[in-house]
Structure 1
Amino acid sequence: MTDARTLGDRSLARCPVSHDSGSWTVWGNEEARRVAEDPATFSSRVSRHLSVPNGMDGDEHRRFRAVIDRHLSDDAIRPLYPEFERIALDVDATMGDSFDANVFGSLVAVRCQSSWLGWDESYEDELLAWISENQAATRSGVYARTAAVAEQFESIVRRIVADTPGAATAALMADTVEEDGAQRPLTPAEIVSILRNWTAGDLGSITYSIGIVAHFLATHHAIAGDLRRSDEEGGTRALDMALDEILRIDDPFLTNRRRTTADVTLAGQDIPADSLVHIHWTAANRDPRAFGDPDAYDPVGNAPRNLVYGAGPHVCPGRTLSTLELRAALVALLRGGDLTLNGVAAREEAPAGGYSSVPVRRVPRRP
């Protein structure tokens, strides 16, 4: 099997848009942005299941996105950072001198999410087990298995909602959405869908992202030293831009689906109406036409074309939340000592991204 990053690089080298097995895949940066920014032609209504707001278009998406944005605004999320940093430092302190960065990442992801949403710590082991099961299901590529894991997570969320939810979850449950010029309460199904979208994808993606960041620190010691100095000087902006660039180079947020509403031509390819289209973000973020050498680290120069958090009306509303969770993990890894690889880091197989394991070891700090 081929890992998603290598698959993306090879496919993009052949063409920015390809057709295979009844669907189309967009590999190029410019082409990915065009699809993401044209919801009228490339609809997000692709799932048979309720997906709020990811699977919505037009005014419906606008109305539900307004709900999401209220809960994920900078004013709501930025005050959480000190607790996220405390969590990451505490987890890091339990890791010892040698550890798997993905294990560290999964603990940070679950504890930060639980802290934000006010979920009881008694769910932690179940959520950690779900991350592993979800990764294995994604790796298998078997739809029935991934569907079963998705249903398992929805069951967990339903139990949490029926339990005694914390402030953030309770606030969502009490919120309303615009409809026919008035406000109505969110339905139980809508609440569960929102919580599932906030957490199910994020837990796995944050885990993979932290593994990628740890691997980068362990293999780019000069840059790690620069980032440590940024942390010591309070340079949070530099740390956040570094995270965006590290994840551009090795993007674990692999794909999103769209369906064409009309015949359209993209990169010289004639795509019929009602065609399934996959945006391959990992490849788009490594497009030499946009970035030159895709492995060259340039946080400032590459920022304008970076699509780690998507583009268009469906651009990730949780960017601030994810960035703060990742910054907390980065800071903990930097303060814990210099990292080096402690064996071979194993790439995940497509359709998953990132690493399945990142064994690292702390070494005496370089002067």
Structure 2
Amino acid sequence: MALADRARSLKQRGYQVVNLAGGDPHFGTPEHVVDAARDALAEGFTHYTSSRGLPELRKAVADLLSLRSGVIRDPDNEVVITPSAKHAVFASLMAVLDPGDEVLIPTPSWVSYGQMVRLAGAQPVSVPLFAADNFTLSRELLEAKVTPRTKAIVLNSPTNPTGRVLSMSELRDIADFSAARDLVVISDEIYEDIVFGDNTHRSPAEYPECVDRTLTVSGFSKSFAMTGWRLGYVSGPQELMNAVLKVQEHSVGEAGSFIQRGGMAALLGNRSPVRHMVEQYDRHRKWAHGELSQVPGIECALPEGAFYLFPDISALGFSDSHACAQWLIDKAGVVVTPGSAFGPGGEGHIRLSLAASTATVEAGVNRLRDALSTPH
């Protein structure tokens, strides 16, 4: 927030500032999705729905889970439509946690997971991953942090901020570990459609050991450029979903009625806009990775999924990642996110988003490359 304030101040003073900090796709929402919501509004479909969500949308979600991962969920009892995937994660944590519980969070991780755990009265426990090992998660690392108070583990694949996609080996370790320790797995799969090359997104719910202990979260923001629509969903075994539903009923109630109609169009309609977006993100990641790899001292893995780069700038002489991000605003007029924001394992890195337009990505990355290539 302090960096965003600094960027706004520079803009007000007439400086050209390029923002590569956000995770909001620059694409417009596909037109057939907009049309479906507009039609719903025109017919007066603007009142309460079931707290679980529209039956037709729940069935579309269940069909998608079955098609993608072979996971069978009853749309009547094991799917809840939520106002954003973010709320789905929050409701899941509120449903399974008691005060004093602990939750394992592999880090670097999205900044809200730990705060959500705290809001539930529980304690987040970071499981730091390491750039030298390409941020690989292992059972050994998990076992080192587990205690008798551990109740759950939060996963995110493809991962924000690192761009990692969990491998079959990592998922096998997670399945064995969560079953042995009787943990709930909350799997945030919001970037599931944004996977590159030979990488494949897989869900821990696909494993027999995990199917009855996993709450799978996803949504529409990233895949369909629907960030402002606030629409997501969570699925899982009925016992856990009954608790999730209670949180939903007594907090937000339900997702917007006409917005859910848009979600139905997204899942059931033409998916070529999604493919087009992913193709552009793929071009962005390859080009940006190549440009930043030219900077002496920068180490940067090629992302496997999502739309971020997470270069290691620790060899460039900055005191920390926040100092680097501040310097880049002042020196290059580019806003990035310091790696320290993403918890242990993130320090020494910066995150830049590739979700902006091609012109914005090119302008920002060119400025970063030139600035970081000069003495500072």
Q: TM-score, normalised by structure 1?
A: 0.29
More helix by share: 1
Larger RCO (alpha carbons 8 Å, 6+ apart): 1
Q: TM-score, normalised by structure 2?
A: 0.28
